[in-house]
């Protein structure tokens, strides 16, 4: 039996087999809504129902000097981002969410994201730093973006539970190549789950997170988080919590 390896790759990257993006498609989501929600699943669907593009989740002001871009994975239902976005929302961060065509190759969306970010920087002169978070398949997008970054500002990239090695024929079909080193003005932090606990990777005979990128800082996440198994989705929350702990001392 002939198997389409590209589709199989996307299957393993899928967070959920159900994905209703027609719900609340005209409702913009903001940080206040995420903070006040009693239903993270409903809030997640609202995130994913937004049209493709870079969405500001809050009003910007002169105190915000860092543009934070969060990039979802394949077939996401969005709920895994609700708590982390709330956590990383500080007075100096402008929180944005990048909706993209996650059923296609990353390169077209990389180009679009670059246009959106350049436009944001042009209209927000107080921004001095750009930080990208890419979860799962979104991790491939943000490292590809890193390699093409030509902006003057420093770029900080975080990949979370991301198969940077590629899966199946993903590299061939999409011309994706794992970075071998980090460009100037950029920094890369890889946050890797334990493969056997990660529902997207546990059935593979290799860990697609394991790559060698010169200059990258790698952290292997623990097995539990708040008394739960730390798998594919909880990984973003763990990273958000621990980054804020470091900032707050």
Confidence of residue 167 (pLDDT cuts 50, 70, 90): confident
Tokens representing 244? 């804020």
> By residue range, what is the domain housing residue 61?
5-248
Check which CATH number belongs to the domain holding 162 and give it.
Answer: 3.40.50.1820
Q: Kindly report, residue by residue over 126-163, the tens digit of the pLDDT.
A: 999 999 999 999 999 999 999 999 889 999 999 999 99
Q: Supply the pTM of this predicted model.
A: 0.88
| Position 246 confidence tier, pLDDT thresholds 50, 70, 90 | low
**Residue 106 burial (CB count, 10 A):** 26
Total domains in the fold of the chain: 1
d(CA 246, CA 249): 5
Residue 157's nearest CA partner among 101, 113, 99, 223 is: 113
Helix (H, G, I), strand (E, B) or coil at 157: strand
């Amino acid at each position: 039996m002939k198997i389409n390896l590209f589709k199989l790759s996307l299957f393993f990257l899928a967070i959920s087999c159900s994905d209703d993006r027609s719900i609340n498609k005209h409702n913009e989501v903001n940080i206040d809504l995420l903070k006040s929600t009693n239903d993270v699943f409903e809030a997640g669907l609202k995130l994913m129902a937004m049209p493709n593009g870079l969405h500001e989740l809050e009003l910007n002001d002169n105190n915000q000097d860092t543009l934070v871009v969060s990039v979802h994975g394949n077939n996401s239902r969005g709920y895994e981002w609700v708590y982390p976005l709330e956590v990383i929302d500080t007075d100096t961060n402008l929180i944005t969410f990048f909706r993209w065509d996650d059923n296609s190759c990353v390169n077209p969306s990389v180009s679009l994201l670059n246009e959106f970010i350049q436009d944001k920087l042009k209209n927000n002169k107080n921004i001095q730093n750009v930080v990208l978070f890419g979860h799962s398949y979104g991790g491939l997008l943000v490292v590809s973006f890193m390699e093409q970054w030509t902006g003057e500002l420093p770029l900080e990239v975080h990949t979370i539970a991301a198969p940077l090695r590629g899966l199946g024929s993903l590299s061939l079909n999409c011309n994706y190549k794992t970075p071998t080193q980090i460009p100037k003005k950029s920094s890369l932090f890889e946050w890797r789950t334990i493969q056997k606990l990660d529902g997207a990777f546990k059935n593979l005979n290799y860990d697609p997170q394991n790559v060698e990128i010169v200059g990258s800082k790698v952290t292997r996440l623990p097995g539990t988080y708040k008394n739960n198994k730390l798998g594919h989705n909880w990984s973003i929350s763990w990273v958000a919590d621990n980054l804020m702990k470091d900032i707050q001392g």
